[in-house]
Amino acid sequence: MLTVIQANSQAVPAADRGLAYGDGLFETIRMSGQKALLRQHHLRRMASDAARLGIPADVDDLDRELTRAARRLGPPDDNHSWILKLILTRGNGGRGYRPPQNPEPHLIASSATLPPLPGPEGVVARCSSFPLTVNPKLAGIKTLNRLQQVMASREFTGAEWELIMKDGADHLVEGTRTNLIARLGDCWVTPPASSVAVAGVMRQYVMERLVLAGETVLERPLPADLAAREDLRGFYLLNSVFGVVAVRSFEGADLPVDGTLATICGPIETLE
Amino acid sequence: MLTVIQANSQAVPAADRGLAYGDGLFETIRMSGQKALLRQHHLRRMASDAARLGIPADVDDLDRELTRAARRLGPPDDNHSWILKLILTRGNGGRGYRPPQNPEPHLIASSATLPPLPGPEGVVARCSSFPLTVNPKLAGIKTLNRLQQVMASREFTGAEWELIMKDGADHLVEGTRTNLIARLGDCWVTPPASSVAVAGVMRQYVMERLVLAGETVLERPLPADLAAREDLRGFYLLNSVFGVVAVRSFEGADLPVDGTLATICGPIETLE
């Protein structure tokens, strides 16, 4: 049973384990009126990651609360784009870190306006100096433990749209708020799900679309010297709010911008 | 300027970055009436770790608010022991992960009762199967990103007092809520500050006392087969609420319990 908290009008109990320990996860969902883009992808990810954390949240409960939140927070205009954020925490209680035996989760719903969207000409990205460390047992889960991304984001200067985080082996792992995919020769290469802090729903969607289109997708580490690779045909940032964002400049080097991926995926407004 | 929130009577704004991203840190302080044990250690750690995260919190502000919280939440009886928890977050605002330029931190104060304390005969510990991964740039900071400790704590069966977390190299790094120190031959060995998720104030205090007593303290990795080491003279868990806790059984093996460390450190009730 979920206790729902309306973040736009209500406060959160100070005893919430989401605040105390980051004991929970969240989804940031692009909305078009009452409609959630990539709805099933978001719900499936949320339910399966909650299960990994041992937070009891039925996909049907989440589905129902998503509909309610959309109705309550969304504009009547069907074409108006906005952001719905759902935070799921393990609720209150427990003895220190040790969770209660029967947690009563909180679902905290809030709305935000859509940020400016980059155009098809692409964006500027560079590497963050803040390293990314991923616990293998938490890999891919969009938990509330996001201090690494916060610290990396402090390096934004205004000149770049995204900062890419590297692991200890100097591989490109992900952006502060995006997953990565590169077109190298005839293959699409994205860092393995087991290596990323957040396995985004847009990453999942793009991989599905590429496979459906008969393309070859490899989950492999991306080298830091990507821009120097002669077979590089495109480098993209993936995020369920922004869709597919081409990188036109990385670490000061101009990159080829290819519309293939955007064509295969279709306009973000149409994603079911 | 700190905005103080009384967690026992007030709620926390849903927009607090502590909830959204674990963007903050905390201290759990053992109190005796209005007196905070290891007061200066806690205040210094809190201020220096806030600085590492870029959260503006002056040590004088923290000192004043600690006094106020103790007065407000503490019992009039000078000998009564209780726990004061202070959460410091970066406050509200910012664009996603990116913090606001001039954050207005929140300090969230709450009280709790003292848990049962283990006796000098020692406790039972074993290893957690949940690995510990520490970002080198966040090592030692008691941040609000504590999901690894929560997940490890789900393995408590009731048979053990503490679960010890190992890193990818199979070293013993720390307990879910304690730091480690072992007496090996004539040396005291504790995992390096650069390797631990939380560098506790009790760890700091114990190292200072050992050095003052002319003992040799080494910051070195602790091997997982510690119990099998012939030169093991004692294994201890350190925590500012519990003090020095001897381990009498680790991974099913009986360990020697030696009172030297407790003697050098003195009773926890007297720690300034």
* pLDDT for residue B88: 97
User: How many CA atoms within 13 Å lie on the side-chain side of B20?
Assistant: 24
Structural domain boundaries, residue A224: 123-267
- DSSP codes of every residue in B127-170: E-SS-----TTTTT--BS--HHHHHHHTT--SS-SEEEEE-TT-
What span, in angstroms and rounded, lies between the C-alpha atoms of A94 and B130? 19
Do B146 and B197 lie in one domain? The reply is yes
Q: What's the whole-number average pLDDT of chain A?
A: 94
pLDDT in tens, A110-139: 999 999 999 999 999 999 999 999 999 999
Q: Please give the ipTM for the structure prediction.
A: 0.96
Rounded Cα gap, residues A260 and A264, in angstroms: 6
Do residue A93 and residue A184 come from a single domain?
Answer: no
Interface with A, mutate which of B21, B25, B30, B165 (most A CBs under 10 A): B21
Same domain flag for A106 and A209: no
Confidence class for position B2, pLDDT limits 50, 70, 90? confident
A100 touches chain B (CB under 8 A): no
A49 lies within 8 A of chain B by CB: no
> Residue A272 falls within a domain, yes or no?
no
pLDDT of residue B271: 83
CA A203, chain centre distance (Å): 8
B182 domain-assigned:
yes
What type of residue is A142? K
Nearest CA distance, A268 vs chain B (angstrom): 20
Residue B158 lies in a domain: yes
Contact B217/B210 with Cβ under 8 angstroms?
Answer: yes
Please tell me whether residues B158 and B209 are part of one structural domain.
yes
CATH number for the domain spanning A31: value is 3.30.470.10
B65: exposed, middle or buried (Cβ count in 10 Å: 0-12, 13-18, 19+): middle
Who contacts B105 (Cβ-Cβ below 8 Å, separation ≥6)? B2, B3, B24, B50, B55, B56, B57, B88, B89, B90, B91
Residues B153 and B175 in one domain: yes
CB atoms closer than 10 angstroms to residue A71: 10
Q: Does B235 touch chain A (CB under 8 A)?
A: no
Q: Are residues A73 and A205 in the same domain?
A: no
Q: pLDDT band for position B247 (50/70/90)?
A: very high
Q: In this structure, are residues A170 and A224 in contact, taking their beta carbons and an 8 Å threshold?
A: yes
Closest-CA residue of chain A to B175: A97
For B223-248, what is the mean pLDDT? 96
Q: Are residues B84 and B184 in the same domain?
A: no
The β-bridge relationship of strands B35-36 and A179-184 is unpaired
Confirm whether B243 is domain-assigned: yes
Last residue of a domain, one of B113, B148, B166: B113
| H helix or E strand, kind and range, residue B41 | helix B39-53
- B258 band by pLDDT with thresholds 50, 70 and 90: confident
Per-residue confidence band for B49, with pLDDT thresholds at 50, 70 and 90: very high
Token readout for B14 is 């849903």
Quick count: other Cβ atoms within 10 Å of Cβ B121?
8
Q: Are residues B45 and B129 in the same domain?
A: no
Q: Is B21's Cβ below 8 Å from some Cβ in A?
A: yes
Interface probe for B, chosen from A85, A147, A196 (most Cβ of B below 10 Å), is A147
Q: Identify from A5, A8, A10, A21 which residue to disrupt to test chain B contact, counting B C-beta atoms within 10 A and taking the largest count.
A: A21
Question: CATH no. for residue A244?
Answer: 3.20.10.10
How long is chain B? 272
Give the one of B18, B131, B137 whose C-beta lies nearest to A19's C-beta.
B18
Instruction: Please indicate, yes or no, if residue B203 is contained in any of the structural domains.
Output: yes
Q: Give the integer Cα–Cα distance in Å for A102 and B206.
A: 37
Chosen domain end from B59, B83, B113: B113
d(CA A75, CA A28): 17
Q: Are B51 and B145 members of one domain? A: no
Assign A29 a pLDDT band (cuts: 50, 70, 90): very high
pLDDT of residue B230: 95
Residues B26 and B137 grouped into a single domain: no
Whether A51 and A142 map to the same domain: the answer is no
Is the CB of B21 less than 8 angstroms away from the CB of A147? yes
Residue A6's pLDDT band (boundaries 50, 70, 90)?
confident
Whether residue B272 lies inside any domain: the answer is no
Q: B189 at the A interface (CB within 8 A)?
A: no
Number of domains in chain A: 2
How far is CA B55 from each of CA A17, A263, B93, B137, rounded to the nearest angstrom?
21, 43, 13, 15
Specify the amino acid at residue A14. Answer: A
**HSE (side-chain half, CA atoms, 13 Å) at A203:** 24
CA dist., res. A183 & res. A201, Å (int) = 19
* Residue B118 belongs to some domain of the structure: no
Task: Kindly state whether residues A58 and A149 are assigned to the same domain.
Answer: no
Q: Work out the percent of chain A whose per-residue pLDDT is above 70.
A: 100
Contact B254, B248 (CB under 8 A): yes
Of B113, B134, B169, the domain-final residue:
B113
Q: Which of A44-58, A162-176, A206-220, B9-23 has the lowest mean pLDDT?
A: B9-23
B149-208 pLDDT, tens digit each: 999 999 999 999 999 999 999 999 999 999 999 999 999 999 999 999 999 999 999 999
